[in-house]
């Protein structure tokens, strides 16, 4: 059996006025995913357990078949795993965003999608002039970075994309160890204000990296391998460290694709071609595409529609063709990790639609891959972590 899992991150949404009262999934021209829905089954999966944050960390862990209530320890540790950071047992890992705060309001959680080169230079400045003893910063990609700190933390932090257009001061870290985090954030803001990189960005009219934002804290988790759990080998294609880290923790190799950016301009065709080729060497290929989520955070409904259409054309289409060449021994599953409604520009915990087709998957209602049809379907997975077992073992 060959299996393909496609994750259009954040693709689920709500009816939008600019789309004539329809959702991006309802507007998008997605003939390949529509084929899966018509010839297989549509339903919903709740990937975010009650009382857990609706981030891609929690939701994707669930989607890959691991219960976040048992294994989740924070977002930042997953990204640290992607970078293969050596972290001591008494050290905590924090996500460190470059953000744009104007007049106290969180205007942009990505500092205008600052380039990786600019960000790396700023991280070097922070390590040289801001980091106290037992604290160090690690560069990542674009606005996404990490900070490791030794100590005891029992803090409450907030993701910056959850407070867009809201006062940043209301969401600063609280709890044991929070004063250290606040001090570091304040000192970083002073350094960034005098940065030549920001001076250049100001001249170009780009959003400035006015501040860092610390969140997503945790210690490094240990997960059983996917093969020991499900008896299948897998590989991951993504442009996001969070997914790279999760893949590494469950024993999957990550396939790097040139031009894969994590944004709307990502190399969709390259990801599709790499996924098709990977099926020769593994049981399950997982393709994650961040673009719909980025469009949701930017309130870009048309961009989200375009991203979903590109995923269908360049990733789902080639994979479906390749799988059909296997005869009957295949299955394919398409679902977002969580919704990212353009109306609120952040994640929600609602169940997401999925479409699944292939061997022994019987069509029931011939629905479409939309929020409405999935909700009207007869297959609803209340614990999203159980969907993977259904996908792999249903008979």
Q: Is the pLDDT of residue 310 over 70?
A: yes
75 phi-psi bin (left φ>0, alpha ψ -120 to 50, beta other): alpha
**24 Cβ contact partners less than 8 Å away, ≥ 6 residues apart:** 11, 13, 16, 292, 301, 304, 305, 308, 342
> What's the average model confidence in pLDDT over 251-259?
97
Q: Is the pLDDT of residue 395 over 70?
A: no
Residue 365 has pLDDT above 80, yes or no: no
Instruction: State the pLDDT at residue 369.
Output: 97
Task: Inform me whether the pLDDT recorded for 364 exceeds 80.
Answer: no
Question: Could you report the per-residue pLDDT of 78-120, keeping only the tens digit for each?
Answer: 999 989 998 998 999 999 999 999 999 999 999 999 999 999 9
> In the CATH scheme, what is the homologous superfamily, with its name and number, of domain 2-71+223-393?
Alkaline Phosphatase, subunit A (3.40.720.10)
List, for residues 137-188, the tens digit of each pLDDT value: 999 989 999 999 998 999 999 999 999 999 999 999 999 999 999 999 999 9
pLDDT (mean) for 17-24: 98
Q: Residue 302's pLDDT is what?
A: 98
CATH 3.40.720.10 intervals, the chain:
2-71+223-393
Question: What 3-state DSSP class applies to 307?
Answer: helix
Percent of the chain with pLDDT over 70: 100
Closest CA to 146 of 219, 97, 101, 194: 97
DSSP letters spanning 101-167: EETTEEEETTTTT--HHHHHHHHHHHHHHT--TTEEEEEEETTEEEEEEES--EEE---GGGSTTSB
For residue 251, give the nearest of 101, 70, 65, 68 by alpha carbon. 65
Give the mean model confidence (pLDDT) for residues 206-222.
95
Query: What is the rounded distance in angstroms from the CA atom of residue 189 to the CA atom of residue 371?
Result: 41
- State the average pLDDT for the chain: 95
Question: Is the pLDDT confidence value at 272 over 90?
Answer: yes
User: 26-40, 79-93, 258-272, 308-322: which range is least confident on average?
Assistant: 79-93
């Amino acid at each position: 059996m060959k299996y393909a899992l496609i994750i259009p991150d954040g693709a689920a949404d709500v009816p939008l006025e600019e789309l004539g009262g329809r959702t991006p999934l309802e507007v998008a021209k997605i003939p390949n995913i529509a084929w899966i829905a018509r010839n297989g089954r549509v339903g919903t999966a709740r990937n975010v357990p009650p009382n857990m944050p609706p981030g891609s960390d929690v939701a994707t862990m669930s989607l890959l078949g691991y219960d976040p209530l048992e294994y989740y320890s924070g977002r930042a540790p997953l990204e640290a795993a992607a970078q293969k950071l050596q972290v001591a047992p008494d050290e905590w890992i924090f996500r460190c965003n470059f953000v744009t705060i104007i007049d106290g309001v969180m205007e942009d959680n990505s500092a205008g999608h600052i380039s990786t080169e600019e960000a790396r230079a700023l991280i070097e400045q922070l390590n040289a002039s801001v980091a106290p003893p037992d604290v160090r910063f690690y560069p990542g990609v674009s606005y996404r970075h990490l900070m490791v700190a030794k100590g005891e933390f029992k803090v409450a932090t907030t993701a910056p994309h959850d407070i867009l257009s809201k006062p940043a001061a209301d969401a600063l870290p609280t709890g044991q160890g929070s004063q250290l985090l606040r001090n570091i954030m304040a000192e970083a803001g002073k350094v960034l204000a005098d940065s030549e990189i920001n001076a250049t960005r100001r001249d170009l009219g780009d959003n400035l990296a006015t501040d860092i934002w610390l969140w997503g804290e945790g210690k490094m988790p240990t997960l059983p391998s996917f093969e020991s759990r499900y008896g299948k080998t897998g590989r991951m294609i993504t442009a996001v460290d969070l997914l790279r880290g999760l893949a590494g923790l469950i024993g999957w190799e990550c396939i790097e694709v040139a031009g894969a950016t994590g944004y709307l301009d990502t190399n969709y065709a390259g990801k599709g071609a790499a996924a098709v080729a990977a099926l020769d060497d593994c049981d399950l290929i997982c393709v994650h595409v961040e673009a719909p989520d980025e469009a949701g955070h930017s309130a870009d409904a048309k961009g989200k529609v375009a991203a979903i259409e590109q995923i269908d054309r360049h990733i789902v289409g080639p994979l479906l063709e390749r799988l059909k060449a296997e005869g009957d021994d295949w299955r394919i599953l398409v679902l977002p990790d969580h919704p990212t409604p353009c109306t609120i520009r952040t994640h929600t915990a609602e169940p997401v639609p999925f479409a699944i087709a292939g061997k022994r998957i019987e069509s029931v209602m011939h629905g479409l891959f939309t929020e409405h049809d999935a909700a009207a379907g007869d297959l609803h997975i209340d614990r999203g972590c159980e969907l993977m077992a259904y996908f792999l073992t249903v008979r």
